[in-house]
Structure 1
Amino acid sequence: MPPTATEAPLLPKARRSRPAPGTAITGIRTRVTRSLRRAAPALLAYAAVRVFVLLVFGVWAHKEGHGIWPALAADWDSKWYLGIADHGYERTLGTEYDANNLAFFPLYPYLVKALAAVTPGSRATVGLILAGVCSFPAAWGIFAVGDRLHGRRVGILLTFLWACLPVGIVQWMGYTEPLFTAFAAWSLYAVLTGRWVWAGALAALSGLTRPTGIALAAAVGLCGLLALRRRFSARVLTGVLLAPLGWLAYVSWVGLRLHRWDGYFAVQRLWHNELDGGVETLRRMREFLAYDSTPELFLVMVTVTLLASVVLFLLSLWDRQPLPLLIFTGLLLVITLGSGGVYFSRARFLLPAFPLLLPLALVLARAQRRFLVLGVTGAVLCAAYCGGYMILVWPSAP
C-alpha cells in the first residue's frame, strides 16, 4: 500500500540520514590523498635536501674512515634510547652525573622495541628507520601549517628551510626530534583548523616523546581555554584535557618509580639540566663572543642559531602569527635558553620550532628568482657542511 501524504516525505529523508557503509573511511582517504598530492612538491624538496646532505656526509665519512651507520644509528643519545629499549629504565636515582636514563621519555624507545620484535634487523637499525620515516609526516605537517597560513609556495619553502637547518642531519638519526616534530606540526595544524580532539591527542603523544612536549600541551591548552571562554564545546574541552596527559603521566610515573614526588626533576638536576633563568646560556654566549679568540666552529653555529631564533621569534610577534604557534615556539625558547644544561645541544632542541622559520619563508616567497636561487643553494650547502661537521669533526653530542 502506498504511503500516506504525511508519511511520503519522511521516507526519502530517513534513507538519506543513513550513511553508506565505508563513506566516512572513503572521505578520510580522499582528504588524505588530496592533502598528500598538494604537499608532494614540499616532500620531494625535503627528500632531495636530506639525500644530498646524506651523500655529502657519506663521502666525507668515507674519506675520514668513519662508519656511516654507527654515527647515525647508535651514537650519543641514540645509545640511551637503545639502552631503554634493551633493558628498561633505572629503578634508583643514583648520584652519578649523566648516568640516569629516566631523563629520556619513553615513546620512541618503546616504539623501537615493539617494531624490532616483529621486523628483521637490529634495534639500532629499526630506530634509525623509524626516525627517518617519521621525518616525512613531520615535513608534511610543516607544509600543511605554512600552506594553511600563507599558501602553497610558503608551505613548500617552510618545509625546505626546515630540511636545511644546520642541525637538520638529526632528522635522519636515531633521535626523537622527527617523531616529536611530527606530533607538534599536526597538533598545531589541528588547532588552526578547529580539530581539538586531534590536537589534544597529538599533544599528549608529544608529551610522551620529549620533555618539551609541555610546550605543545600549553599551546593547545591555553588556546583551547580561550576558545571555551567564547563558546563552550565538549570537543574543545576534551582536547584541553588530553593535551598534558602524556607529559604528566611520565613525570608522575618517574616520581612513583623513585618514591619521591619530584623524581623527574631530581633526575634533571642530576643531568645539570634544571632551569636557571638563562644564566648559563648568557655565560656561554659571553664566553664565546667576547673572550674566546678561536671559538669552536660548532659552538659558534649553536650561538648564532640561538640568537637568530630570538630575532625570528620577535619577527613572528611582529607578523602576528597565530597564538598557538607563538606559545609553542615561545615556550620552546624559554626552556632551551633558560636551561642550565649542556650548551652545545641547544640548536638541536630548537629543531621542532619550525614556526620560527615562517618569516624567512615569507621573504623567500617574495624574492626575485636570482635571489631565491642563491638563498636555496646557500641553505643546502650550509646544511650539508654543518651536518657533516657536527657528526665527524665535533667531538661531542650533536
Structure 2
Amino acid sequence: MPSLSATASLSSRPGLTPDEPLGSRARSACRSILGRLGPEDRDVLWLYLASRVSVWIVAYCARWVFPRDPETKNAAAILQPFQQWDWHHYLRIAREGYFPGAEVDDNRVAFFPGFPLVLRAVHVVVPDWTVAGLAISFVGGAIAVVALARIARRYLEEAGAGRRTVVLLLASPCAVFLAVGYTEALFLALALPAWLAAQRHAWVTASVLIALASAVRISGLFLAAALVVHHLCSGRAHNWRVLLWMTLPALPVALYFWYLYANTGDLMAWQHAQERGWHRSFHLPWEAWSQTWDAAFDGIYPAPYAFMFLAELVGMVMGLLLLAVLVRRRSWPEATYMALGLWALGTSYWYMSVPRASLAWWPLWIGLAALTLRRPRLLALYGCLVCPLSVVFALAFFTGHWAG
C-alpha cells in the first residue's frame, strides 16, 4: 500500500493551503468532504443498509432461539439484544452524569464523554434511550462507510475499490459493534472523514474532526499523532499555525481529565478506573501476551470467555502483521497510528477489545481490498472464513456472552 503522502497527489482536486482564510478553508473542506453523493457512494449506502438488515435479523432471532431462561414461552423485548455490556455504562452516564448524588463505584469514568453527550442530545428528540443509541450508530456508520470508500478510491486505482473495502469491513467479525449503541460507529464517522481531509491537506478540518473523535475514544490521540506525521511527510512547507491546530485533539482529553480531577482529586482517575474494571494496568508486551494465552488455553475461564481471549490473540497477530507491512512500505502516518494503538492494547494485563479496535484499522480493509481485487479467489476465502465468525460474534453479543 503506498504511503498517504504519495497517494494524496493522485487526486485531481487541489489541496487547500494554510494561507486561505479560516472560514473559506472550512467551507471548502466541508464541500470537498461532504459534497454530493455520487453513484458509488449511493451504492455503498445501499450495501450498508442491507448489512444492517442482516444484523437486525440476527438480533431478532436471538431473542427467540437463545432466551436467558430456556423454559420461557415468550421472547425477550425486541430491543433487549442491543442492551448489553458497555451500553449500560453509556446509558448511566447520559442519564445521570459521571457523579450522581449517591456514591457509586461502577467505573463509569473509564468511558469518554463524547458518545454519552451525543446520546443525551439525541434523546431530546428520540424518547427511547436504546433507539437513540441505535440511531447514532446507524447514522455514524453510514457516514463512516462513505468516507472509507472515498479513502480507498484514493489509495487504489482498481475499479470498485471503495465498494470492496466497505464489503470487507461490514462482513468482518466485529462489525456488529457498528450496529449497536457503542462508540465505534460514532468514532469512525469522525475519524475517517478526518483522514480524508488529511489526504486533501485540509489540515484544520482534519484537526477539528480528530478533536471531536478524541472526545469519543482515546485512540483519537493516536490519529492526531498520525496526522502530524503525515503533515511532516507531505513534502509541503510546514506551517507552524497548522501544527498548532494539530494540538487541538489533545484539548478534549485534557478537559476530561481536568473534570475528573476536579471531582475526585485524582489526576489519573480515568486510568485507575480502567485498572479496577478491566485490569488495564501496565505490563510488558510479552507479559500481556502470556497472560492472554493462559486465559485462552489454560482452562481458567469458562469457554465463552476463553474463546474471546483466543480472538484477542488472533487480533493482535493481525495488527502486528499489518504494522510490519506498513513499515515495510514506509507508510509512516498509518504505521504511527497502528503502532500507538497496538502499544496501548498490548501493554495491559491482558488483551481486551483488540478485535473491536480492528474496525478502525482502515489500512487493513484497504489492503485486503487490494489483495482480493487482484486475486478474486481470496474474496471467496475471506467470506468463508469470516462470515460464520460474524454470525457467532453477533450472537455472542446479542445473547450476553460477549467479553472483550
TM-score using structure 1 length: 0.81
- Counterpart amino acid of residue 387 in structure 1: A
Per-residue CA deviations over 1:117-157 (Å, capped at 9, x if unaligned) read 2x142222211211121111111121121111113522222
The equivalent of 2:341 in structure 1 is 332
**Residue 384 of structure 1: CA displacement?**
2.3
Alignment of 1:255-294 (within 5 A): 255-271=261-277, 272-279=279-286, 281-287=288-294, 291-292=298-299
C-alpha distance in 1 between matches for 2:32 and 2:230: 29
Rg comparison, structure with higher value: 1
Indicate if the aligned counterparts of 2:257 and 2:267 stay in contact, CA closer than 8 A.
no
Larger RCO, structures 1/2 (Cα 8 Å, 6+ apart): 2
Once the two structures are TM-superposed, the CA of residue 243 in structure 1 deviates from its matched residue by 2.8
Unmatched 5+ residue regions in structure 1? 1-21
Secondary structure of 1:351's aligned partner: helix
For 2:130, the aligned partner's letter is A
Partner of 2:222: 215
**What residue is the counterpart of 2:208 in the other structure?**
201
1:303 pairs with 2:313 = yes
What secondary structure sits across from 1:115 in the alignment? Answer: helix
Seen in structure 2, the aligned counterparts of structure 1 residues 326 and 120 have a Cα distance that, compared at 3 Å, is same
Question: Which of the numbers 110, 117, 125 marks the counterpart of 2:117?
Answer: 110
Task: Quote the residue 2:40 is aligned against.
Answer: 38
Superposition RMSD in Å: 3.1
Q: What are the within-5 Å matches in structure 2 for residues 70-219 of structure 1? A: 70-72=80-82, 74-90=83-99, 99-117=106-124, 119-151=125-157, 152-219=159-226
Query: For each residue in 1:171-223, what CA deviation from the matched residue of structure 2 results, as whole angstroms up to 9, or x when unmatched?
Result: 11111111111211111121121010011001111111012222112212343
Aligned to 2:259: 253
Letter in 2 for 1:353: W
Aligned-partner residue type, residue 59 of structure 1: C
- CA deviation map 1:197-253 (0-9, x unaligned): 0110011111110122221122123433556x9523366234313232222222222
Structure 2: how far apart are the matches of 1:75 and 1:289?
A: 23
Query: Secondary structure in 2 aligned to 1:350?
Result: helix
Aligned residues of 1:58 and 1:68 also touching (Cα < 8 A): yes
Indicate yes or no: 2:55 matched with 1:53.
Answer: yes
Of the candidates 346, 366, 383, which is equivalent to residue 358 of structure 1? 366
Distance in 1, matches of 2:142 and 2:64, equals: 27
Task: Give 3-state SS (helix, strand or coil) of 1:167's partner.
Answer: helix
- Using the alignment, how far apart are the partners of 2:139 and 2:211 within structure 1? 20
Change (3 A) 1:361 1:284: farther
> Separation in 2 of the partners of 1:148 and 1:381?
31
User: Runs of 5+ in structure 2 lacking a partner?
Assistant: 1-23, 68-75
User: Which secondary structure state, in structure 1, belongs to the residue aligned with residue 238 of structure 2?
Assistant: coil
Contact 2:90-2:116 within 8 A present in 1 as well = yes
TM, length-normalised to structure 2: 0.80
Q: Judging changes above 3 Å, is the alpha-carbon distance between structure 1 residues 54 and 282 closer, same or farther for their aligned structure 2 residues?
A: same
Greater than 4 Å deviation, 4+ residue runs: 24-31, 33-36, 292-295
Shift of 1:48: 2.5
**C-alpha deviation, 1:257, in angstroms:** 2.4
C-alpha deviations, 1:96-130, integer Å up to 9, x for none? 5xx2211111111111111212x142222211211
Residue 261 of structure 2 aligns with an amino acid whose one-letter code is: G
Greater shift, 350-359 or 330-339, is seen at: 350-359
Q: How many positions carry a matched residue from both structures?
A: 366
Q: Give CA-to-partner distance per residue, 1:245-281, whole Å, 9 cap, x none.
A: 2222222222222224333333333333233233553
The answer as to whether partners of 2:41 and 2:149 remain within 8 angstroms in 1 is: yes
Provide closer, same or farther for how the CA distance between residues 378 and 37 of structure 1 changes in structure 2, counting only shifts above 3 A. Answer: same
Name the CA distance, whole Å, in 2 between partners of 1:90 and 1:67.
30
**What secondary structure does 2:208 align onto?**
helix
Q: Which amino acid counterpart does residue 360 of structure 2 have in structure 1?
A: P
Alpha-carbon distance between aligned partners in 2 of 1:211 and 1:273, rounded to the nearest angstrom = 14
